[in-house]
Structure 1
Amino acid sequence: MTAPTTDRTDIVDPNDHVVLIDGSAYIFRAYHALPPLTRSSDKLPVGAVAGFCNMLWKLVRAQGFSPAPTHLAVVFDKSEQTFRKDIYPLYKAQRPDLPEDLIPQFPLIREATRAFDLACVEQAGFEADDIMATYAEQAKKRGARVTIISSDKDLMQLVDDNVRMYDPMKDKTIGAEEVFEKFGVTPDKVIDVQSLAGDSVDNVPGVPGIGIKTAAQLLADYGDLDTLLARAGEIKQTKRRENLIEFADQARLSRELVTLKRDVPVEVPLDEIAVVEPEGKRLVAFLKAMEFTTLTRRVGEAYEIEIAAIEPDERLKAGAPASLAFAEAAGLGPQAEEGGEAGAAAGFTTGGGDDPRLSPTRRAVARVEEAGKTPVDRSRYETVTSLARLQAWVGKAFETGFIAIDTETNSLDAMQAELVGFSLALAPNEACYVPLQHVGAGDGLFSEGMIPGQIPLAEALATIKPLLEDPAVLKIGQNLKYDWLILARHGIEIAPYDDTMLLSYVLDAGASPHGMDPLSMRWLNHTPIKYEEVAGKGKGAVTFDRVAIEKAVEYAAEDADVTLRLWRVLKARLVAERKSAVYETLERPLVTVLANMERRGILIDRQMLSRLSGDFAQGMARLEAEIGEMAGESFNPGSPKQLGDILFGKMQIPGGRKTPTGAWSTGADVLEELAEQGHELPRRILDWRQLQKLKSTYADALPTYVNPHSGRVHTSFALAATTTGRLSSSEPNLQNIPVRTEEGRKIRKAFVAAPGHKLVSADYSQIELRLLAEIADTPSLRQAFQDGLDIHAMTASEMFGVPIAGMPSEVRRRAKAINFGIIYGISAFGLANQLSIPREEAGAYIKRYFERFPGIRAYMDETRTFAREHGYVETLFGRRCHYPDIAAKNPSIRAFNERAAINARLQGSAADIIRRAMVRMDAALSRAKLDARMLLQVHDELIFEVPDDQIAATIPVIAKVMEEAPLPALALKVPLKVDARAAANWDEAH
């Protein structure tokens, strides 16, 4: 590269090209992308350094960049507290410790940067992303072009006409189009999407239940985050609306965390990062010390240096005490050492039996202490390719009395996936993988065939079936419901079993994640092989049946090995912390209950959905014609820009406001306000958007989920997805089917019963309000439920002094909003929005409510105090819901966690009750000789498919099981009530 100047200082101007390298991120990309490499003279790990140096050489030779960089900086994170940690202490808290072989490479990479005569920038209190954002902003203001070398999605908020990104691993430029492809929004909306969706990698909370796709759809409807949160009460989907209202402060907090600072007081000014020609001899000295022979030769040739005459840098040669000194200088030495010790203390081995004299608590502590003493050794895993060896493993499992199992398939859809193989583990490092259906290249040019040497599927399953169904052998899995479903399709029903995911969920719901990888890192101090490491990712990814068997063995057997190790730690904790009853009554038995519900699936009327899609399309077309006529021209109603130009440009409608990007805001709140002012076009746009949403999300999408073999839709239920114990569902999410509008209810009409059957919907009536009356010990509310009164009318009568008889509907509506709002910790602002009343009036309502029902205020205060002291609350059935941030210094975080904890006792207890009912339901129906089948659970509702001639006999059985679900553990003073109806479709049964 020819440098524009030989001085580091060079004023940036509009003709310049500023290149910013995300050094910290690239280190990890280089480390994981390249095979391990050590310096031959002393075995010092240098793989990440080598990858980094090759990238820098490509840059300084101006390969692939046009125009060539005029200013360049490599920006690193410093391992110190940043301002985001001050805002949210749990930010990035769950990130694993650094790999041991990467730690000494950090300071060497900084040395490499200096050897290339490039600016090496890092600054206390700020992340590399903030420094790059600041440089990019400064360069933009001067008209210069900016390229950020990174694939980090957080940096995509910076992309615009002047700023682009470049992913060196994929050799891919990232502009506005690529950002839209990833997030579904333009770069200026990336912050809002991330604020809603959160980020599990950085521990940014976001809003539960909202992913990137949903966030993008919401922003398309409402324009921006503030508008969406302000109008959240208008959202039709119940759970989504509730979450956006309840977690609004969390979304705002997330925005603070994901928004990059563009005004960092950078210690190295932008003008001082001008590119200069590397001093060839210094660079060669560094490369020779690293023993990078090929690159050393290339540098020598480029600068016409006699490399034999250059001595390696003495500080970096083998034997020099450089690594520790550099690590300490970079602030990594003590942190790495401390992290290693802490990780070792969190693991264990299972080399011997437990001392029977130990108490449950001491046994749990001992297992935790032992957990890291036996490192995972993948070289000891066995590939089982003969029936004799498989029989030997089965025989040993019968002797041991327990075995960990994991299945490998070619799909995440348990109802259609093919079984590719399975792994077993009996002890640490005593694990195997049994490949069954791995395929490879066949004899022909384009043909494929089964890789030889695998046990035939039927023979392997026949061998394993007696073990997996034997009641004397415990089977251990992680997220076992998936494996149960896979094997059940082959005639094997696993029993008995333990699930490490659910053990963790019972112990630590809300406190830490329950996936195998984070559990392994937390308790075993071990990072398992990631799926993409063996199967690839992106366009190069393959299904597991195409993974080479030698790679599959390490990955699959490790899963079983790690699961077994986790089981010993978590099972001991379960006993020591006295949570066995929660696990045994609410979690473990629900695995098979939900698996059977998923297998059954539910029928949909595809013709009805097709007609609805057509009706919605016709309605949209009709509205588009009306919209075009009103506007005086045709335009795309789905385009916010075109709509804004029409409303506020051409039609000059007053009241328009612009987003920070300068575009007109056309969110639902803006359109609602205009419609209320009497403008007809915004009302038509809202109608069009509603039909478009119903068409795309439900009428068009639901038929794509129909299983080709069963003809039914099979959702997947998640047991460990919420802090409170509520279930969630996905692929498709059947818990968010709209019910508030007539058009939305038409979607539920498409869920139908099989011929000769009806759907029965059994729904708990106001269960959380009943539990509030129970837990808060509020006599008037409790008596109202016992007397079967209209609870909302009774509340209105108590609060406003209005007789129940002849009560105006508006008065009852306000009491209903308060009743349900109190459960979710509604604020005066939220209630005012919901009822369209002044905030002062809403605040007075809430105050009066607590005056009339003082027990509720006492309950909330007691719960808040307990949660602050202990970090969790418990449901009536002992489920522990953790809220570690309830003592946070940040008021908004603290207030959010307080509201969540207060609600968790009610929502969690309700979730426990319906779980108890579900666990007992199939047995109760069987005892009554009834053929009803439980198909779905949607919050407080269970849906069954019942033969026509058994409906009258079935409904009382269902209602009895649900209403008596708390017994015998708990006898509620407030009776539970279940409303159950039968109909040909879900809407009519509800």
Structure 2
Amino acid sequence: MARPANRYPAAMASNHLYLVDGSGYIFRAYHRLPPLTNKHNEPVGAVYGYTAMLWKLADEVHKADGPTHMAVVLDKSSHTFRNDLYDKYKAQRPPPPEDLIPQFPMIRDATRAFSLPCIEEEGWEADDLIASYAKAALAQGWQVTIVSSDKDLMQLIEPGLDLYDTMNNRRLGAEHVVEKFGVPPVQLGEVLALMGDSVDNVPGVPGVGPKTAAKLITEHGDLEAVLAAAPDMKKGKLRENLIEHAEMARLSRKLVTLACDVPLPEPLDGLALQGIPEAPLRAFLEHHGFRSLLARLGAVADAPQPAPAAGVALPEDPPCDHDGYEAVTDLAALERWAAAAREQGFVALDTETDGLGPMAGLVGISMALAPNRACYVPLGHRGGDLLADTPVQIPIDQALAVLKPMLADPAVLKIGHNIKYDLSILARHGVVVAPIDDTIVMSFNLDAGRHGHGMDELAATHLAHSCIAFKDVVGTGKAQKGFHEIGLREATRYAAEDADVTLRLWRRLKPRLSPEQATRVYEMVDRPLVPVLSGMERAGIKVDRKTLSRLSAEFATQIAALEGEIHGIAGTPFTIGSPKQLGDVLFEQMGIKGGRKGKSGVYSTDVNELERIAADREAGAGAELARKVLDWRQLSKLKSTYTDSLQQEINAETGRVHTSYGLTGAQTGRLSSNDPNLQNIPVRTETGRQIRDAFVAEPGNVILSADYSQIELRLAAHMADVPQLRDAFLRGDDIHNMTAQELFGEVNRDTRGRAKTINFAILYGISRWGLAGRLEIAPDEAQAMIDRYFDRFPGIRTYIAETLSSVRENGFTTTLFGRKTHFTRIKSSVQHERQGAERAAINAPIQGTSADIIKRAMARMNPALAEAGLSDVRMLLQVHDELVFELPESLVDRAKPVIQHVMATAAEPLVKLTVPLGVEIGTGTSWGAAH
């Protein structure tokens, strides 16, 4: 790390006090490092990271800035005077992780091992102690630096006091506060009181964010002046909220105010910095076996570090040494690698297989412990032809017997890139892999929307490395070999590189999670889901081949009939699946207006264009042709994608279909489904139901479908703060009836159907053309409906405007759980690119939050079922807002309430919604019958 700049000349003061926000250091260290254990089998991941961070800080700032005094300040208890003021203060914060709690005393020991004062006081937060020490030091003419980037502590900034953000190696002064919050530090408490804090449960004023708060304080001066001026403000939600929540705002002001007069537990002079004494530090490091840190004292040869500690810059990795990778072909060598992994506490791994999907056969395993310290363990290789000898390799049962204890060891973190696949492959051999980290998920949580997350792309992006291409190893076309036919030297170079690159990516991505606010969504939403999805993929679902075959024949007949009708309308036969021929028929022969050509000179005939034509009353026969082409496309896709191909996807060993779920396939965080894709079966059509009828339960079992009811509308009511929608959900009203009454003044079958379409379409930023196509009305009429909707529900209009404003400013949207989705084309000069990004951004926070909620439900489901004695209930599929289970018919009545409760409470305790989550449950002998 570069030395921090010395902002204050030595002549200004003789003493310079550094106050370290120790709590912030602890949690950053915990989330940055794998779950390490010491030689006493105690968890010490956070202790190791904290020690490395504190050592670096004490050493670096002493050399660069010459602080004379230093102390670490910690929170001692959870109850302070703020809890007496407001019993809900910090009430929704989850308790510390179980493996972190025993590390707190050791962290105090680490602080004292550096001969640094460790200051904490019952009944006071660390921020109050920091504020009191800072004010006392300033009163004596000292300089003060607070080692933190916490917004609450920014209130203290004044001449002679700044904050030091070690994560980004920068000093934070008054100019940073003005840039971030729009007011100087002296007014920051007023802004914080208005905007509140969901993390600490400071209530603030509903609907007031940082920008609105800053504007109000800038205009009026302080909170009391804002509240006094509220009755004279323009009528609207802001005025109402300021008046209604005035007392909560005043309470919030007290909650965010730092106490600056706490009696000092240690006198200022007792914080003098004497350097780092060796004896107590050596004793501490030796007790925990931190050999790589001991090496700094010259005690032992350096050992591989578990991970880069926060604030510690990683050295440049050496180029990949493919010829240095080891092919492990005897048990002694394999035992050496397994022991090294257990000693180090983490290992990157990857599996090689003879095919794709969760049911493929295991060919080999690669591992990496450090850059270029990687190996490949061949297990299922054989000669490339009948006359070739099978290479020397360890019998698979013996190899797995050696690896199994290490792979299941809770003290060894297993790191993979899309490790879900490896979990599935190894589970089929009875091998459990836990705990895990997944670099593809980390990348997605950090950079969704910025780039892809495949290993090749990430290696090029983060490591400036070009991976060996799979096709260069196995060949292509008719000459392509299976990986099990590849020679060991080539296989080792390719497979060990995978593990090596995975480790290098982990060393770069893991440290970014905390400072980029991705830890919560990674730790509490996505990573826990990885083993769950692996189990679902292996379970699969039974499909009735006879039903599929019958449907294929019926669809073929319907498709042929549609083709005849389309050709009849066009007056000539043509290839309906050809965009060029279809475009020529629509825009040249039939003369439909508004056609647009792409760069290739071919008219666009995508779904949006066909919907536009279908809704155009002036298009005449062209509108009818467009509608029938849309029907033809839908039926053709269903036949090829499902009724034909699903028959080929039935696994010969299990008689079931095994889809593969992707955590990174959809930009908003929704799961994707591939090989086969089960996400796109139409939900509300008779054709879709017929296809679902082919998914059946085993004899004696039933299929149970649990579906969130209108979850995105419920989330919109909460996130956009729409009272009419929120209250309707709380009352249990029919939301579409209510919308029909609001928009059309009456409720009947037609108005309810239109209201239902509009309710969902608006949240997707639908255009007038899109809505016109869905409702089969004129675009102007559709626009009038959109305008009327916004007039009746202004909260939705405000939500859309604020979402677009935020994404244009920040480049990303955020879900309630902190998932970021980046929109790189939000400011594109190309209109359709920009508008496409805007439509996606409008829905991303809502759809992403919906995805986060069902993921949390899935992660909690199996433990809840097991606790209820329902381990025979198997979760098989996830499709958008729906979970599909298979279970013995006798367990249905017991399973329903457990499943319903898990899904309804999935957001809690991280997020408390103002609307209930409705869950509809049905059962039947098939998936279709369960709806």
Query: Taking structure 2 as the reference length, what is the TM-score of the superposition?
Result: 0.62
The aligned counterpart of 1:955 is 896
Is 1:755 the counterpart of 2:696? The answer is: no
CA–CA separation in structure 2 for the residues paired with 1:841 and 1:657: 18
Instruction: Say whether the 8 Å CA contact 1:478–1:563 is kept in structure 2.
Output: yes
Q: What CA deviation, in whole Å up to 9, does each residue of 1:408-435 have, x standing for no partner? A: 11212221x2211111111111111111
CA–CA separation in structure 1 for the residues paired with 2:729 and 2:684: 26
The aligned counterpart of 1:716 is 660
- Partner of residue 979 from structure 1, selected from 920, 923, 929: 920
The aligned counterpart of 2:361 is 418
The aligned counterpart of 1:520 is 459
SS at match of 1:374: coil
CA–CA separation in structure 2 for the residues paired with 1:754 and 1:981: 17
- Partner of residue 334 from structure 2, selected from 375, 390, 395: 390
Instruction: Say whether the 8 Å CA contact 1:671–1:686 is kept in structure 2.
Output: no
The aligned counterpart of 2:139 is none
Which residues in structure 2 correspond to 1:551-700 (within 5 Å)?
551-619=490-558, 677=621, 691-700=635-644
Which residues in structure 2 correspond to 1:141-152 (within 5 Å)?
none
User: Relative to structure 2, which stretch is displaced further, 384-393 or 890-899?
Assistant: 890-899
Amino acid in the other structure paired with 1:421: G
CA–CA separation in structure 1 for the residues paired with 2:430 and 2:657: 21
SS at match of 2:712: helix
SS at match of 1:437: coil
CA–CA separation in structure 2 for the residues paired with 1:840 and 1:658: 19
Instruction: Say whether the 8 Å CA contact 1:423–1:556 is kept in structure 2.
Output: yes
Q: Flag the 1:616–1:675 CA change in 2: closer, same or farther, 3 A.
A: farther
SS at match of 1:523: helix
- Partner of residue 649 from structure 2, selected from 705, 730, 733: 705
SS at match of 2:657: coil
CA–CA separation in structure 2 for the residues paired with 1:986 and 1:899: 32
SS at match of 2:916: coil
Which runs of no fewer than 5 residues in structure 2 stay unpaired? Answer: 1-290, 298-305
The aligned counterpart of 1:914 is 854
Which residues in structure 2 correspond to 1:58-77 (within 5 Å)?
none
CA–CA separation in structure 2 for the residues paired with 1:857 and 1:680: 34
Which residues in structure 2 correspond to 1:447-526 (within 5 Å)?
447-448=386-387, 451-526=390-465
Q: Flag the 1:883–1:548 CA change in 2: closer, same or farther, 3 A.
A: same
Q: Flag the 1:356–1:795 CA change in 2: closer, same or farther, 3 A.
A: farther
The aligned counterpart of 2:470 is 531
What is the CA-CA distance between 1:962 and the residue it aligns to?
0.3
Q: Flag the 1:868–1:490 CA change in 2: closer, same or farther, 3 A.
A: same
Q: Flag the 1:634–1:899 CA change in 2: closer, same or farther, 3 A.
A: closer
CA–CA separation in structure 2 for the residues paired with 1:642 and 1:885: 32
Which residues in structure 2 correspond to 1:838-857 (within 5 Å)?
838-857=778-797
The aligned counterpart of 1:877 is 817
Amino acid in the other structure paired with 1:725: G
Q: Flag the 1:441–1:916 CA change in 2: closer, same or farther, 3 A.
A: closer
Instruction: Say whether the 8 Å CA contact 2:358–2:658 is kept in structure 1.
Output: no
SS at match of 1:440: coil
CA–CA separation in structure 2 for the residues paired with 1:843 and 1:354: 70
What is the CA-CA distance between 1:582 and the residue it aligns to?
1.6
- Partner of residue 968 from structure 1, selected from 883, 902, 909: 909
CA–CA separation in structure 2 for the residues paired with 1:639 and 1:362: 54
The aligned counterpart of 2:372 is 429
CA–CA separation in structure 2 for the residues paired with 1:862 and 1:356: 51
Instruction: Say whether the 8 Å CA contact 1:441–1:449 is kept in structure 2.
Output: yes
Is 1:376 the counterpart of 2:320? The answer is: yes
SS at match of 2:514: helix
CA–CA separation in structure 1 for the residues paired with 2:770 and 2:694: 34
What is the CA-CA distance between 1:659 and the residue it aligns to?
9.9
Instruction: Say whether the 8 Å CA contact 2:391–2:488 is kept in structure 1.
Output: no
SS at match of 2:441: helix
What is the CA-CA distance between 1:850 and the residue it aligns to?
1.9
Instruction: Say whether the 8 Å CA contact 1:752–1:759 is kept in structure 2.
Output: yes
Instruction: Say whether the 8 Å CA contact 2:347–2:412 is kept in structure 1.
Output: yes
What is the CA-CA distance between 1:645 and the residue it aligns to?
11
Instruction: Say whether the 8 Å CA contact 2:615–2:776 is kept in structure 1.
Output: no
CA–CA separation in structure 1 for the residues paired with 2:790 and 2:625: 43
SS at match of 1:736: coil
What is the CA-CA distance between 1:741 and the residue it aligns to?
3.4
What is the CA-CA distance between 1:542 and the residue it aligns to?
1.6
Aligned-residue CA RMSD in angstroms? 3.6
SS at match of 1:763: strand
SS at match of 2:473: helix
CA–CA separation in structure 2 for the residues paired with 1:867 and 1:690: 34
Q: What CA deviation, in whole Å up to 9, does each residue of 1:42-66 have, x standing for no partner? A: xxxxxxxxxxxxxxxxxxxxxxxxx
CA–CA separation in structure 2 for the residues paired with 1:894 and 1:683: 28
The aligned counterpart of 1:776 is 720
Instruction: Say whether the 8 Å CA contact 2:415–2:502 is kept in structure 1.
Output: yes
SS at match of 2:383: strand
Q: Flag the 1:774–1:556 CA change in 2: closer, same or farther, 3 A.
A: same
- Partner of residue 773 from structure 2, selected from 809, 833, 847: 833
What is the CA-CA distance between 1:480 and the residue it aligns to?
0.2
CA–CA separation in structure 1 for the residues paired with 2:698 and 2:366: 38
SS at match of 1:885: coil
CA–CA separation in structure 2 for the residues paired with 1:846 and 1:714: 42
Amino acid in the other structure paired with 1:494: V
Q: What CA deviation, in whole Å up to 9, does each residue of 1:586-633 have, x standing for no partner? A: 111111100100011011111111122233345556778899999999
The aligned counterpart of 1:543 is 482
Q: Flag the 1:725–1:681 CA change in 2: closer, same or farther, 3 A.
A: closer
Amino acid in the other structure paired with 1:737: I
CA–CA separation in structure 2 for the residues paired with 1:434 and 1:542: 19
What is the CA-CA distance between 1:512 and the residue it aligns to?
2.6
Amino acid in the other structure paired with 1:597: M
Identity %: 53
Amino acid in the other structure paired with 2:380: Q
Amino acid in the other structure paired with 2:540: G
CA–CA separation in structure 2 for the residues paired with 1:679 and 1:509: 38
- Partner of residue 924 from structure 1, selected from 855, 864, 867: 864
CA–CA separation in structure 2 for the residues paired with 1:585 and 1:412: 29
Q: What CA deviation, in whole Å up to 9, does each residue of 1:220-254 have, x standing for no partner? A: xxxxxxxxxxxxxxxxxxxxxxxxxxxxxxxxxxx
- Partner of residue 819 from structure 1, selected from 751, 759, 763: 759
Amino acid in the other structure paired with 2:686: E
Instruction: Say whether the 8 Å CA contact 2:358–2:537 is kept in structure 1.
Output: no
The aligned counterpart of 1:438 is 381
Instruction: Say whether the 8 Å CA contact 2:347–2:415 is kept in structure 1.
Output: yes
Q: Flag the 1:364–1:721 CA change in 2: closer, same or farther, 3 A.
A: farther
Q: How many residues align?
A: 626
CA–CA separation in structure 1 for the residues paired with 2:416 and 2:577: 47
Amino acid in the other structure paired with 2:918: K
Instruction: Say whether the 8 Å CA contact 1:503–1:570 is kept in structure 2.
Output: yes
Q: Flag the 1:400–1:627 CA change in 2: closer, same or farther, 3 A.
A: closer
SS at match of 1:944: strand
- Partner of residue 810 from structure 1, selected from 741, 750, 765: 750
CA–CA separation in structure 1 for the residues paired with 2:582 and 2:508: 58
Amino acid in the other structure paired with 1:858: T
Q: Flag the 1:552–1:392 CA change in 2: closer, same or farther, 3 A.
A: same
The aligned counterpart of 1:190 is none
CA–CA separation in structure 1 for the residues paired with 2:624 and 2:496: 64
Amino acid in the other structure paired with 1:406: D
Which runs of no fewer than 5 residues in structure 1 stay unpaired? Answer: 1-350
Amino acid in the other structure paired with 2:327: T
What is the CA-CA distance between 1:402 and the residue it aligns to?
1.1
Instruction: Say whether the 8 Å CA contact 2:384–2:485 is kept in structure 1.
Output: no
Q: Flag the 1:567–1:356 CA change in 2: closer, same or farther, 3 A.
A: farther
What is the CA-CA distance between 1:953 and the residue it aligns to?
1.4
